[in-house]
DNA sequence: GGAATAACCTGGATGC
DNA sequence: TGCATCCAGGTTATTC
């Protein structure tokens, strides 16, 4: 499941290949991959053909490639989306939805393939708007612009312009469980189910603890653990359980070997040795140690 | 306005 | 072997 570290690995892989490249053709093979695009496949193809890509930028789980100061191709990988770099004319990938043929002045011709099994991911052409704080829109570009579809989400915890004070204030004023808050992309972006569970385990906080019940010291500790978990996962190439997440070359990450709580139901907690439990939560699962992470 | 929940989707795993 | 059911979860629309 692509969360911040996985999307950043993809962005870093795309950057050298697409920066300065020209889109010579666009082929939409499944229009369901354009659910965020207004205008349909023909509009998407015609609008991008001939445009020059200026960068690969990321905020949270959103990735975008500006094609001018006012427009960008926005990508969200959803649950199973992949952005793959392939040789021109390479065989169609399994679940391939969209293919961009690009021409780079140094690297030559390449195919950028968007493949997505569960079709939760999408591409779209979107307008760029100024960031309210004047800082760069995301990692990968100094331009203080962000797609309208991304403008409503908060900066991610690894962003130098992340507003920790705003994060603490949002946590303090809500009665919702802290895991729900972590998954709210308008509070802090880039955190999904895996890294929420891992961060809460590291900070020894029960996922259902109301935000308002957490002392500032605990919120600060949690934020530090979120940043540490994300950094470590990024360094290890992200988390791969199966073929659902791979980098632009189709390779898996290694962070699954470093997980302490997520997906370890019944296995001993690495800290106290008692079994990790799994409970249903928001149509998904929470994994935690009931001994180390007690309810307040 | 804030909070909670359902729906969208595909394929692997599991049970019968 | 084949079929039915469950499960995974990010985002958003809907409901309370």
Domain ranges, ordered by start, for chain A = 4-147, 164-288
In this prediction, residue A244 carries a pLDDT of 61
The contacts of residue A11 (CB under 8 Å, 6+ apart) are A56, A57, A58, A63, A139, A140
**CB closer than 7 A to strand B: which residues?**
A 32, 79, 95, 117-120, 173-177, 180, 242, 282-283
Reported pTM: 0.94
Q: Which of A11, A12, A18, A2 minimizes the C-alpha distance to A63?
A: A11
- Domains A4-147 and A164-288 equal at CATH topology level: no
pLDDT at A243 over 60: no
Q: Which class in CATH covers the domain with range A164-288? A: mainly alpha
Question: What pLDDT does residue A242 have?
Answer: 58
**Average pLDDT of A231-244?**
77
The DSSP bridge partners found for residue A112 are A85, A100
User: Do A94 and A35 form a contact (C-beta atoms < 8 A)?
Assistant: no
Q: What kind of fold does domain A4-147 have according to CATH?
A: N-terminal domain of MutM-like DNA repair proteins (3.20.190)
Indicate the average pLDDT of chain A: 90
Measure the CA–CA gap between A183 and A257, rounded to whole angstroms: 23
Does any strand C atom come closer than 7 Å to the Cβ of A285? yes
């Amino acid at each position: 499941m692509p969360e911040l570290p996985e999307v950043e690995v993809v962005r870093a892989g795309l950057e050298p290949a697409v920066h300065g490249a020209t889109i010579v053709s666009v082929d939409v093979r499944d229009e369901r991959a354009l659910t965020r695009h207004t205008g349909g496949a023909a509009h998407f193809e015609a609008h991008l053909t001939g445009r020059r890509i200026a960068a690969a930028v990321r905020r949270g789980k959103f990735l975008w490639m500006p094609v001018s100061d006012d427009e960008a191709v926005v990508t969200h990988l959803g649950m199973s989306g992949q952005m793959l770099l392939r040789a021109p004319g390479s065989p169609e990938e399994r679940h391939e939805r969209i293919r961009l043929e690009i021409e780079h002045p140094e690297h030559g011709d390449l195919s950028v393939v968007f493949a997505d099994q569960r079709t939760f991911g999408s591409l779209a052409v979107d307008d760029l708007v100024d960031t309210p704080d004047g800082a760069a829109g995301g990692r990968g570009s100094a331009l203080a612009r962000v797609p309208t579809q991304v403008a409503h989400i908060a900066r991610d915890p690894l962003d130098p312009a992340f507003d920790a004070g705003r994060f603490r204030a949002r946590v303090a004023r809500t009665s919702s469980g802290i895991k729900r808050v972590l998954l709210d992309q308008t509070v802090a972006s880039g955190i999904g189910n895996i890294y929420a569970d891992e961060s809460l385990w590291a900070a020894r906080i029960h996922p259902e603890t109301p935000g308002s019940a957490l002392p500032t010291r605990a919120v600060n500790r949690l934020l530090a653990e979120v940043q540490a978990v994300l950094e470590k996962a990024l360094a290890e190439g992200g988390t791969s359980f199966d073929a659902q997440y791979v980098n632009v070359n189709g390779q898996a990450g290694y962070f699954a070997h470093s997980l302490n709580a997520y997906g370890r139901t019944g296995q001993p907690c690495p800290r106290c040795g008692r079994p990790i439990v799994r409970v249903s939560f928001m149509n998904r699962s929470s994994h935690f140690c009931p001994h180390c992470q007690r309810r307040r």
